[in-house]
Amino acid sequence: MTPTLTLPLQRYAVVLVNLGTPDEPTVPAIQRYLQQFLSDQRVVDYPAILWQCILRGIILPFRGRRVAKLYQSIWWDEGSPLRVITQRQTKALGNAMLMGGLPVQVRYAMTYGNPSIASVLDELRAQGVERFLVLPLYPQYSATTTAAISDQISSYLQQQRDLPEIRMQKHYHHLPAYRSALAGSVRAHWAKQGQADALLLSFHGIPERFVRLGDPYERHCRETAANLATDLGLTAEQVLVSFQSRVGKEQWLQPYTDQLLEKLPGQGIKKLQVLCPAFSADCLETLEEIAVENCEVFLHAGGEDYQYIKALNDSPCHIQLFRQLVLQQLQGW
């Protein structure tokens, strides 16, 4: 049902927020992006002075150059896939709101890089917006992603005299519309390719220490997997969970995707389908790390068939899920 709004429609805006991506696939642009991203204490919490020496002296020069080649390999004519897909999601949600009779403004912002959360809030406030609904594009909550968005909003508010009102979706992996969108994407893949020996859910990792300190991310990932198994009628053994993209020497959530892929063919799993439910848009971590690098790992270890099932991106089910989240959040506002 369409909510009744207590302010004129022009005073509301929805802001989709994703992680961010470099402006260009060049070493300087990637270093700028990584500098901002990896200086966030929500992402890397080592003592700042020590960490800044390591970051500027070692990580930015070496990782910047290595990752530039990877970004170049996945870059699209219109730009970084993560940005292009986020733009498409924003446009599609705006259209869906319009078609549903609630033509609220929809914009996107990035936690790191452009457009920044502060710049988008500023621009919308200048147009008279007073109530913001922020939708972090992370189905599973983690302090490293969703709380980092919340921190930036808090810093923005600290600079304001006349505060806008803000609501934020914390997570949505448990909601029926998300569950059916995810299960639907696997079924659509099966309709074209058939079923494999197993379905691997590879989630972006975080340091295991963060989970010990209270981050519920791992629980959210495992709930996502259990729900998907139920919704697809698969057993727990047919739905495997692993964690990818680790950085640095600390222990991250396990099993690591690459190490698991090396073992699976020896356990009789030769045909594998891989899904990455922590990513609402395809990006470097899915298009390169999962679809290319990890495919090679699996085939090299004796696997015969490896298929990556793309992210929900701007598929109609995903946009309908966002629309439902917006309608729920706007109730009574």
Binding residues for Fe(2+): 204, 285
Helices 27-38 and 60-74: crossing angle in degrees, nearest 10, is 120
CA distance 41 to 48: 8
Binding mask 211-230 for ligand L6N33NVT (x = CB under 6 A): ------x-------------
The footprint of ligand L6N33NVT on residues 246-285 (CB under 6 A) is: 247, 278-279, 283-285
- In the chain, helix, strand, coil percent, each to 5? 50, 15, 35
Say which amino acid occupies 82. L
Which region among 137-145, 155-163, 190-198, 308-316 touches ligand L6N33NVT (by CB under 6 A)?
Answer: 137-145
31 near ligand L6N33NVT (CB under 6 A) = no
Which residues lie below 8 Å from residue 66, measured CB to CB, with a gap of 6+? none
Residue 261's binding partner out of ligand L6N33NVT, Fe ion, none, with CB under 5 to 8 Å set by partner kind: none
Least spacing, CB of residue 55 vs Fe ion, in Å: 15
Find the binder of Fe ion among 169, 245, 286, 294 (CB under 5 A).
245
289 near Fe ion (CB under 5 A) = yes
Structure token pair of residue 242: 């692993």
Nearer to ligand L6N33NVT, 45 or 130 (CB): 45
The residue to which tokens 């899904």 are assigned: 275
The residue to which tokens 């870059």 are assigned: 75
109 near ligand L6N33NVT (CB under 6 A) = no
Find the binder of ligand L6N33NVT among 32, 131, 189, 204 (CB under 6 A).
204
CA distance 197 to 331: 44
Residue 247's binding partner out of Fe ion, ligand L6N33NVT, none, with CB under 5 to 8 Å set by partner kind: ligand L6N33NVT
What number of H helices and E strands is found in the chain?
Answer: 12, 8
Helices 316-330 and 81-99: crossing angle in degrees, nearest 10, is 60
CA distance 7 to 44: 40
The footprint of ligand L6N33NVT on residues 149-188 (CB under 6 A) is: none
The footprint of Fe ion on residues 292-331 (CB under 5 A) is: none
Structure token pair of residue 314: 């701007």
What is residue 310's three-state secondary structure?
Answer: coil
Residue 43's binding partner out of ligand L6N33NVT, Fe ion, none, with CB under 5 to 8 Å set by partner kind: ligand L6N33NVT
Residue 12 belongs to what H/E stretch? strand 12-18
142 near Fe ion (CB under 5 A) = no
Residue 298's binding partner out of ligand L6N33NVT, Fe ion, none, with CB under 5 to 8 Å set by partner kind: none
Least spacing, CB of residue 244 vs Fe ion, in Å: 7
258 near Fe ion (CB under 5 A) = no
Structure token pair of residue 101: 């009779």
CA distance 233 to 199: 12
Which residues lie below 8 Å from residue 122, measured CB to CB, with a gap of 6+? none
107, β-bridge pairs = 15
206 near ligand L6N33NVT (CB under 6 A) = yes
Contact residues toward ligand L6N33NVT (CB under 6 A) are: 19, 21, 34, 43-44, 63, 67, 80, 82, 138, 142, 144-145, 204, 206, 217, 245, 247, 278-279, 283-285
Contact residues toward Fe ion (CB under 5 A) are: 245, 285, 289
